[in-house]
Structure 1
Amino acid sequence: MTLAESWDQYAVGSKPRRATNTKGETSWLNWTQYPDHGPDESVLGPVAGRAVLELGSGSGNNLAHLVMLGAAGVGVDVAPAREGRAREQWGHLSGLEFRTAEATAFLRVTSRSFDVVLSIFGAVWFVDPLTLLPLIRSRMTTGGILAFSHLPPGSQAPRPGKAGMRHDHTPEEWSRMLENHGFGNVSATVLPPPEGQSAGTMLVTSVAV
């Protein structure tokens, strides 16, 4: 089974997001694996008028929320089923595009620059950072924000494939790699889980320098 087929199979079997969150909102951004938990889009700073790229955009919910706040968004996902679902739900929004592509392949061919790049349990967790980080930096404007989240090292994988497919790193390791590939002002922390849960969430932010 190819990588795209594996993710497509996962996408087809995944449950759709709730229609509203506990605040009654119909769109929102969630960095963690738990509903209504953790920080919101403020992690990215103001997004209105900014070009945003999401690597591993899934069904497009997080990116659509940013577009509704005034961003121009491009979502890239390796699973064709994800693009279909995202277009079905969010295709009516202007300034929002979805592409089916592997992250490094997209970054190598696109000529566009982005002010914000994010990955929520997405490509940054599954692609070799020594390959991916330079490609991301090459498509970012200076001063742009890169932010991503995934499970901390040693946590059970909630995504297709073996644990060896993931690129688990400590906050210190992420900080060092980002600083070596054109990023500064790195913040890498593990968010504590809600009560009754055991696994936290790694959240990393940095600035393209």
Structure 2
Amino acid sequence: MPLAPQTPAEYWDTYKPNRGDGPAARPQATVFEWTQYPGHGPGAEFLGAPLPQRALDLGPAEGAEAAYLARQGVHVTGVDLSAVQVARACTWWQDTARLEFVHADAVEYLASTTAEFDAVYSVWGACWFIDPDLLLPLIARRLAPGGVLAFSHAEPTGGAYGPQPMRGKWLEGRERELIVLRWQYSPPTWADILKRHGFTDIDARVLPAPDGQPVGTLLVRATQ
């Protein structure tokens, strides 16, 4: 029986599109999706109009959103904890200009880089899996004046807020199971947290799931 990952990086090494047999196909990157339902919800315009000149993607995984923005003329840096995800993204999008992927922990990258970004975003990525009281001050330091922070993840369910354990369905059948934490809050609580860290013009809401689907998407946008 295969062993389960023992570190968060190994956990994300197993994340999609590594499920199943054989190599996965490269995403199309023809649209920017914030939700898990294709064609549902806003697109890249949620980052503002015009699009930012330079953006940081925290937890890009396959890199489809980063590649989409780069094709629109945005200079994008994608930072991911998983070496497997970064290696695949670099291979898939090696022909895409204005795009780079960095293998690093998001907190360590933000604490060490001197780069400045017009937008920092996370699509079901690092903003869901890192304590906001640790992550948000670091993001604020790297945003240009008036810069945008935007992120999305599954809506909070069951009235459970704060750090919550998450198990990977794709890890079933492993001898051991690694549980990672994800931070979930209601939209008003997210707004309060962002205000506490100096963000303004906050839009925090739940986008209901399309008909027949069980879980909506939390969407958050704020400026620095």
> Normalized against structure 2, the TM-score is what?
0.84
> Given the alignment of the two structures, is residue 144 of structure 1 paired with residue 160 of structure 2, yes or no?
no
Which of 181, 194, 205 is residue 178 of structure 1 equivalent to? Answer: 194
Which fold has the larger relative contact order, with Cα–Cα distance below 8 Å and residues 6 or more apart in sequence?
2
Distance 2:167 2:218 in 1: 14
Question: Whose helix fraction is larger, Structure 1's or Structure 2's?
Answer: 1
Quick check: 2:52–2:119 contact (8 Å CA) kept in 1?
no
- Output the amino acid matched with 2:200: G
Q: Find the residue that maps to 1:10 and give its secondary structure.
A: coil
Quick check: 1:125–1:150 contact (8 Å CA) kept in 2?
yes
Q: In structure 2, what is the equivalent of residue 198 of structure 1?
A: 214
Structure having the higher Rg: 2
State the Cα deviation string for residues 105-152 of structure 1 (Å, max 9, x = none). 110111100000000000000000000000000000010110000011
Identify the range of structure 1 (47-56 vs 8-17) with the bigger mean alpha-carbon deviation. 8-17
CA distance 1:157–1:200, change in 2 (3 Å): farther
- Output the amino acid matched with 1:104: V
Distance 2:124 2:52 in 1: 25
CA distance 1:158–1:63, change in 2 (3 Å): farther
Distance 2:98 2:68 in 1: 12
The count of residues paired between Structure 1 and Structure 2 equals: 202
> Normalized against structure 1, the TM-score is what?
0.89
Distance 2:167 2:45 in 1: 26
Quick check: 1:153–1:169 contact (8 Å CA) kept in 2?
yes
Q: In structure 2, what is the equivalent of residue 109 of structure 1?
A: 112
> Given the alignment of the two structures, is residue 78 of structure 1 paired with residue 94 of structure 2, yes or no?
no
The unaligned stretches of length 5 or more in structure 1 are: 21-25
Which of 120, 125, 131 is residue 122 of structure 1 equivalent to? Answer: 125
Q: In structure 2, what is the equivalent of residue 166 of structure 1?
A: 182
- Output the amino acid matched with 1:50: Q
- Output the amino acid matched with 2:143: M
Q: Find the residue that maps to 2:215 and give its secondary structure.
A: coil
CA RMSD of aligned residues (A): 2.1
Quick check: 1:47–1:70 contact (8 Å CA) kept in 2?
no
> Given the alignment of the two structures, is residue 93 of structure 1 paired with residue 96 of structure 2, yes or no?
yes
